[in-house]
Structure 1
């Protein structure tokens, strides 16, 4: 990569930030129907941004929900083709009163860009657009071919993108997919996430009497739905943190010794985690390190539990119903459909007397892993090291990006998760922000990567 590219990025930084602020000003909240027009506006803005940098055949494709933006540059004959995936939709901003500045009026303070979408994922998607612009403007060509697939429903689970990908396999055919929607390990410490856990979510609804009951008149004679729900929830784990759902671990793959060593070599310690979280001790499945629990072991967590009186003081009722929301993070070989069936069976076999229980299914996503010695991943590691001047860490992500597994299953392509955010940047929370240092270094890293990838694939 020549010095002119870096110089272009430096000289155009203010213009790039101005454009990014325009993008961030669009309240493209995909979860709220009242904002559907703004989501479409963000799609159009993305398409225009691709056209301005020289992408061809740019289209805004409708779906049953929010649109998908596509663009391409296919003039590098005989070279690999990269598909860049990102999303232009954002999370809701509630609670609004906790924002120090308006969420859709980008603001810079402490060398950070504060706005909804700054890190997740408008800022990181925008970096890809500008990195390619820098190469084209300074060299007149690109080292590899590019296709963009930018969607507007990632924050609601990408319900319509798999169908779009299935219907457009030829359009999206590539050699590798690159996604910047993850984080560095820490400030100044680049990391490539080569695997993600999958997801299976359920809701348990427990129903008792036809209405709330006076606990003095009826207590001791009827089953309390909250008590019944607690019995069910408590049955999911034993005292050692092991999930007790029969068959839950049957398909779990053991990790390799190389991966164990790679995790052990990471600078993250239990003491650091305790301090970060304000805890005195950690808890989890016995027999595994903390990073193994976070990266490669499946989980079952209660995300919400409610029923009965929620106000101040006390109200002496036996509630008529109670509910819990459960999500499982899944690891390679676990099938979310199989896990959902196992969870339903486990719950129905443990229904206490005197109540009815219903289990509803919610989000599902398959786990995904690309071997961390894959040439595309190793090339990304070298690009990070060129810019950040430290070794790249190779991690797995504890979270889920369901569309990653869908890309794998439908297109059969390796996925490189090459993010530039930080875990502390409040994505999905008030005061989301993105460090300008990583905005700058991220674009430089991406430029290096495309030249590295040209030599590697």
Structure 2
């Protein structure tokens, strides 16, 4: 909870740093403002988190959009809907002076789809405060009127950190400034995206079609992982992403292992060999050319080394024995593209497990990108690598002729 206060203080500083009314405010005074309004901010966050926000559902999008519209309207922002071919975007703007420079803030409002059964609480959208006891996060009851919270407490709810928490930090800072009659020496624009977890399918086109509306001297993206030190952080770049789905085909339909085991090949084994070919035991991607173009100079490494991180404590915190060997430190590792298996599916597990040879295996991949490794190149390298492993790639379901001709069959979907 205290960490959320730190974020609010941080944005108070950002928003008021060049205000003649506020330029003499000390850090302690900013903290005092935050503490004074903390209960209001927490209550607002609590209500915000209760709104389901799966970007696949238009009703949920509309509910969150209405909430955001109401909040920024009360802040005396002018709001307008940016229509797209899919889900709408919401823009809020406040002009303090016409000759001021503008900051454009990007807020992610949606969250990833949620499996309620996997949460150790009745409802992922009912925020619960928990503390760590004997290695288990346990709910605690607090007085809603109290203004003191333990630094080790956490809010458990869908999107609490990714990314309604950061959005509420900005909103809370704006509310405090409004209450104190403090005007930043920036004009502020806020663009709200309700399908970020779906890849923001309509955002690029909307940006191109609304260049004047969204123009600003600075762009501030309220999304991303907090730094390991837990200090408020300005990050000047982030790795991009591209995704792919590989489907490895086996028999035409699932077969009983008692009848066809030792005769019909199980595609899981071929899929396992393909997956194994993507990385070696050190965690280094084995696709030829995958890291081409990424060069860190001695000066780059020196600067990265000044960032406060401790690899030993990070390894303990993550519960791993050692890190992969793409780079010697966490910060250096972020400068390279990565390849991740984000999901696997083959037949059934758990109480639904059956004695089957499955008809296919689905491998979901994400690749994180850096400026030197554009998505188109990385996807083409992946395609070439799959074919180098002996696979014949088909567009959808293989034909009978394909099945009769090729031992290894797969499809690659990069949309």
Shorter-normalised TM range: 0.7 to 0.9
Q: What residue number does 1:397 align with? A: none
Give the drift of 1:327. Answer: 1.8
8 Å contact kept, 2:315–2:321: yes
State the Cα distance separating 1:82 from its structure 2 match.
0.2
Structure 2 partner of 1:289? 328
CA distance in 2, matches of 1:243, 1:154: 27
Specify whether residues 64 and 240 from structure 1 end up closer, same or farther in structure 2 by C-alpha distance, changes over 3 A only: same
Distance change >3 Å, CA 313–CA 44, structure 1 → 2: closer
- CA–CA distance in 2 between the matches of 1:305 and 1:114? 27
Structure 1 counterpart of 2:111, from 58, 81, 90: 90
Shift of 1:358: 0.9
1:175 aligns with 217
Equivalences for residues 262-281 of structure 1 within 5 A = 262-281=303-322
Query: What secondary structure is seen at the aligned counterpart in 1 of 2:180?
Result: helix
**Would the aligned equivalents of 2:82 and 2:88 in 1 still touch at CA under 8 Å?**
yes
Deviations 1:402-457 (A, max 9, x none): xxxxxxxxxxxxxxxxxxxxxxxxxxxxxxxxxxxxxxxxxxxxxxxxxxxxxxxx
Other structure's SS at 1:171 match = helix
2:413 pairs with 360, 378, 401, which one? 360
Shift of 1:105: 2.7
Q: CA deviation at 1:325?
A: 1.6
Measure, in 2, the Cα distance between the counterparts of 1:258 and 1:192: 20
Residues 345 and 38 (structure 1 numbering): CA distance in 2 closer, same or farther, change over 3 Å? same
Pairing of 1:70-81 with structure 2 (within 5 A): 70-81=91-102
| CA pair 173-302 structure 1, distance change in 2 beyond 3 A | same
Provide structure 1 residue ranges, at least 5 long, that are not aligned to the other structure.
363-457
Quick one: which of 13, 16, 22 aligns to 2:38?
13
What is the CA-CA distance between 1:323 and the residue it aligns to?
A: 2.3
2:246–2:412 Cα contact (<8 Å) kept: yes
Deviations 1:42-94 (A, max 9, x none): 101111111111112x1123323322111112232432210011022222332
The 8 Å contact of residues 43 and 69 in structure 1, kept in 2 or not, is answered as yes
Are 2:242 and 1:200 equivalent residues in the alignment? Answer: yes
Following the alignment from structure 1 to structure 2, what is the Cα–Cα distance between the partners of residues 279 and 193?
26
**Maintained 8 Å contact 2:96/2:185:** no
- Unpaired runs of at least 5, structure 2: 1-21, 132-148, 392-405
Change (3 A) 1:355 1:309: farther
Give 1:186 shift.
3.9
Please give the TM-score of this superposition, normalised by the length of structure 2. Answer: 0.77
Q: Distance in 2 between matches of 1:101 and 1:254?
A: 49
Change (3 A) 1:233 1:183: closer
Contact 1:5–1:135 under 8 Å retained in 2: no
Counterpart CA distance in 2 for 1:18 and 1:239 is 48
Matched-pair contact (CA < 8 Å) for 2:108–2:222: no
1:100 aligns with 2:121: yes
Per the alignment, do residues 183 and 357 of structure 1 end up closer, same or farther by CA in structure 2, a change over 3 Å counting?
closer
Tell me if 1:120 matches 2:120: no
**Once the 2 structures are TM-superposed, how far is the Cα of residue 113 of structure 1 from its aligned partner?**
3.4
Q: CA separation of 1:127/1:216 partners in 2, compared to 1, >3 Å: closer, same or farther?
A: closer
When the two chains are superposed, the root-mean-square deviation of aligned CA atoms in Å is: 2.7
Indicate the structure whose relative CO is greater, using CA pairs within 8 Å and at least 6 residues apart: 1
Kindly report which structure 2 residues correspond to 1:376-455, keeping only aligned pairs within 5 A, or say none: none
- Count of residues in correspondence between the two structures: 355
Task: Give the deviation of 1:146 after TM superposition.
Answer: 0.8
Please name the residue that 2:62 is paired with. 40
2:54 counterpart (29, 48, 59): 29
Residues 239, 370 of structure 2: 8 Å contact kept:
yes
1:307 equivalenced with 2:329 (yes/no): no
Structure 2 counterpart of 1:225: 267
Q: In the TM superposition, what is the alpha-carbon distance from 1:219 to its structure 2 partner?
A: 4.4
Partner of 1:235: helix, strand, or coil?
A: helix
